[in-house]
Structure 1
Amino acid sequence: MSAPPEHRAGAPAPLRIGPSDPAVRVLALHHAGGSAAAFLPLLPHLPAECELVLLELPNRAARPGLSPDDFEDALRGLAAQAHPLVDRPTVVLGHSLGALFAHSVTASLPAHRQRLVHALILSASPFAPQDGIPPHRRPPAPFAHRTEAQLTEDLRLFGGSPDALFADPARLADAVRLLGLDMHLTDTYPGGPAVPVPHHLWHGLEDPTHVPGVLSRSADSAASVGAGAEVRAFPGGHFFLFSGQEPAAELGRIAAAAARATR
């Protein structure tokens, strides 16, 4: 892919925070059922010369837009937003569903922009980067594979939602609908090619998807991207990235190293 692909009208513009001519950019892609605002607690840990760019799927409460048909449809919109921004040292960070998009957006970059990616951080990724859902197993539409009851249970299992959400039927219905639309993107993930950039594979020790003593998804990912992938385990559950000081500090360190590369 040598140019930003076309995307449908209504895709939200990135939220950009920081200097207008930064030494380094961090591009962040959010989890299913969430929004770009999840990354705001990481901002104080970034160096002053860093711009944080929050890429967001449509259908968030304050940022309406057309719902993507599937993963590849959503990717076209995110890649079109991201490509022009990778014009200097860049760290690409994705959490959960966002990790799949982070890998795919990076893979879609033309070679001269891909070389500017200082680090690709895949946090709580639901797949090894090159794995995907076979075409015959991809559901034709949201909620064809996952029921509302299952999605509600997922909200409870993975955490990150306030208790008050489950006591408010209207808010819970909205949250389940958004999660279902986003999980359809996970369920239609086609996989992707190897990406020749430094990989950092992060997971939470209490994440329900991480089972101690069993080959973890992070280990699977490390094997698929080859030697040199750095695997890190942090205290916390599925949303460890937003609740702990360690991963935020590590992100700041990686961004600062990328900024130093420009001096």
Structure 2
Amino acid sequence: MSASPFVRPNPCEDPALRVVGFHHAGGSAAVYYPMGREFPPSWELALLDLPGRGKRFAQEPLEDMEQVVDRAVRDLEPFLDGSPLALFGHSFGALVALETGRALQRMGFTPQWLGVSGRVPPNFTRITRLSELDDEELLRTMVDMGGTPGRITEVPEFVARFLRVARADLRAAESYRPDPGRPPMSCPLTVFGGTEDAWAPLPAMAGWQNESLHACRRRVLPGGHFYFLGPALKGFTRDLIAEIRTVTAVPR
């Protein structure tokens, strides 16, 4: 039996809720790991590493969103007979969370809640294609966003691996063309964003309302694209937990 692709910072047997986290382009489960310290004892945080990083660093990264979602759904299958699920993703991970949630809904397993962050809605057309930048410019752009430590440039082997994985994620996101006639999610949806996020400007975020039958809730926090990292992560985690408790029937 293959090892689980999930990182579980606060393992919990038969949790009241399992919150699944999807990382940003070029990222890994490690970005959310400290959040587990803030979780209620009866909840579990399950962080998925997609191929090419973390627990799956030796696997070939995926460049197609359909393949990414298919892999995520298969990874989640062991959880589908147990505790209810909530899904959360940031940036590229927001699209993965959304489409994974849709796939689960088609299977008859609708998540309790969907949280998306730092990503314009699927019907928003982005002109800039980061995957087509040369290595130097792509690395500079990713570091400037704030989610990639600048010290990565000190180790050429790390740079090459990071760019390979980031490009694959970006190609999957940039080639993503959702069916405009697909039904909306039937679970509550919360959109998180940073006040200074040029990659997910707040006026554009209203379009997420089309993705859920519920009224779309919004939480805006100070900062740029990675507004929740660093000292802000603890407060962000508490906001996320409070949001889930507000819109679901998960026991306290």
What band does the TM-score fall into relative to the shorter chain?
0.7 to 0.9
CA contact 1:24–1:259 (8 Å) conserved in 2: no
1:21-77 superposed Cα distances (whole Å, 9 cap, x missing partner): 111110111111110111112112211001111111111155221332411112111
Equivalent residue number for residue 185 of structure 1:
172
User: Among 242, 248, 251, which residue is 1:253 paired with?
Assistant: 242
**Is 1:124 paired with 2:118?**
yes
**Structure 1 residues 132 and 90: alpha-carbon distance in aligned structure 2, compared to 1, 3 A threshold:** farther
Q: Which has the higher contact order (CA 8 A, sep 6+)?
A: 1
**Is 1:31 paired with 2:27?**
no
SS state of the match for residue 113, structure 1? coil
Aligned 1:31-180 pairs, distance under 5 A: 31-60=24-53, 62-63=55-56, 64-86=58-80, 87-109=82-104, 110=106, 112-114=108-110, 117-125=111-119, 127-129=120-122, 145-180=132-167
**Structure 1 residues 130 and 90: alpha-carbon distance in aligned structure 2, compared to 1, 3 A threshold:** farther
Question: Which residue type is aligned with residue 218 of structure 2?
Answer: V
1:197-230 superposed Cα distances (whole Å, 9 cap, x missing partner): 1000011112221446xx22x2222355466100
Equivalent residue number for residue 6 of structure 1:
none
TM-score (norm 2): 0.83
Q: Where does structure 1 lack aligned partners over 5 or more consecutive residues?
A: 1-8
Aligned residues, how many? 242
CA contact 1:11–1:57 (8 Å) conserved in 2: no
C-alpha RMSD of the superposition = 3.0
Question: Which residue type is aligned with residue 229 of structure 2?
Answer: F
1:145-171 superposed Cα distances (whole Å, 9 cap, x missing partner): 343233123213211222322344443
TM-score (norm 1): 0.79
**Structure 1 residues 221 and 57: alpha-carbon distance in aligned structure 2, compared to 1, 3 A threshold:** same
Equivalent residue number for residue 204 of structure 1:
194
Deviates more, 1:43-52 or 1:189-198: 189-198
User: Among 197, 201, 226, which residue is 1:239 paired with?
Assistant: 226
Question: Which residue type is aligned with residue 76 of structure 2?
Answer: A
